[in-house]
Structure 1
Amino acid sequence: MRSIHVTMSVTLDGVVQGLGRPDEDTRGGFAHGGWGTRHQDDVMAREMGEGMRRPGDMLFGRRTWQDFTTAWGGRDDGNPFTKHLNAATKYVASATLEDADAWQNSILLRGDAADTVAELKAQPGPDLSVIGSASLVRALHAAGLVDRYTLLIHPLTLGTGARLFGAAPLTEFGLTGCVPTTKGVLIAHYERRV
């Protein structure tokens, strides 16, 4: 059975919306897009690079997959993240996407995300990594499918925006490691307690 590892940037008040740029996700009138870029440093780059070195496949929700397709698909810039993302097998969970042909090595998982991902997880194969994809993560968490989290906890509150966990079920995780960055981000690693 595969394991599922989620990597997500989050504010102190749990917001995960619009991390990367002002226009990334303005749903609900969200006006704080790009909040995470001011906290990047060499420590964060090194830690995220370590995560990219682990073998495995990737798992995306539709919105994040489409955004990453535009940002990373087809690029050849020598960036190790670009190389990793383009080479990885990418599963995209969606009930509305027609196909996953826009980005190489992408496979569409049609239907209910929790059901299709549970089927994929039960199959033999490499572990699955999720970057972003908050709606998908909420569905997988509610279904008890997430095994590990790496949370990049940013030192700010926004007061508004989509949160990582809504009405999530009681689930316990143990802290397995924590790395502080020079910009005050805590990179916390959690593993599900069985």
Structure 2
Amino acid sequence: MRNIVARLCMSEDGIVERPEQWLSDPQPALGQLVGAAETVLLGRRTFDRYAGSLTGLEHTRNLVVGSRPIVARPGTEILQGDTRRVLTALKAIPGDDLYVIGSLTLVRSLLRWRLIDEVSLLIHPVAAGRGMLLDRRLLRLISMCARNNGVLEANYRVRYAATVAPSTALVSAGRWGGTRSRDRVASTARPAVRTHA
């Protein structure tokens, strides 16, 4: 099973939206997001904004997620159908990892669907001031390294909360005439304690 890795630029105050508004020269930084990726996932707006100018995209397989039509370019495929099901199926196919470049709306959807495995942030020493933040409570830092011009690359593993099985309501009159009650039973396994008279 392949991983889905989100790669985003982030300002020092945590903003991950529209780096071209807070970086003086965004093209090299955005090109670093593509890196050596072979398959890239892009949201429609990100594709419309950067497809013609982003260095490295011309050498990758570009999968665009969006409900509205786009102007396709060579090497571009538009994912049709239910995005969640299509990406779940793509993850199950053996191959190289899939990289989500930018596309904050897509990243948030993938996190909600539990499809992202890792998040890589290029943290720039610039204060953006305002914009959208990425909720990093699910992320566990696995590595960090310094790059040129004061940029830090922080790589995180996504740690999804374990789902709790719904507790069942029991109705029991009791074998010896106990009262009828509806109680929630803890869903965690506990050792059984037996008492014998």
TM-score between the two structures when normalised by the length of structure 2: 0.67
Say whether the 8 Å CA contact 1:59–1:130 is kept in structure 2: yes
Letter aligned with residue 53 of structure 1: A
- Structure 1 residues 14, 110: closer, same or farther in 2, change over 3 A? farther
Unmatched segments (≥5 aa) in structure 1: 21-32, 73-80
What corresponds to 1:52 in structure 2?
35
Quick one: distance in 2 between partners of 1:104 and 1:184? 35
What corresponds to 1:178 in structure 2?
144
Partner-residue secondary structure (3-state), 1:162 = coil
Say whether the 8 Å CA contact 2:40–2:60 is kept in structure 1: yes
Runs of 4+ in 1 over 6 A off after TM superposition: none
Partner-residue secondary structure (3-state), 1:183 = helix
Partner-residue secondary structure (3-state), 2:150 = coil
CA RMSD, Structure 1 to Structure 2 (Å) = 3.0
2:154 equivalent among 157, 181, 188: 188
Q: How does 1:1-194 map to 2 (within 5 A)?
A: 1-20=1-20, 33=21, 35-37=22-24, 48=32, 52-54=35-37, 56-72=38-54, 81-82=55-56, 85-96=57-68, 98=69, 102-165=72-135, 171-175=138-142, 177-193=143-159
Identity %, equivalent residues: 31
Quick one: distance in 2 between partners of 1:114 and 1:14? 27
Q: CA deviation at 1:39?
A: 8.7
Partner-residue secondary structure (3-state), 1:53 = coil
Quick one: distance in 1 between partners of 2:59 and 2:27? 25
Structure number with higher relative contact order (C-alpha < 8 Å, ≥ 6 residues apart): 1
Q: CA deviation at 1:40?
A: 9.1
Q: CA deviation at 1:133?
A: 0.8
Q: CA deviation at 1:134?
A: 0.8
Q: Which structure has the greater CA radius of gyration? A: 2
Pick the structure with more helix per residue.
Answer: 1
Q: CA deviation at 1:107?
A: 1.1
Partner-residue secondary structure (3-state), 1:118 = helix
Say whether the 8 Å CA contact 1:113–1:139 is kept in structure 2: no
Q: CA deviation at 1:64?
A: 0.8
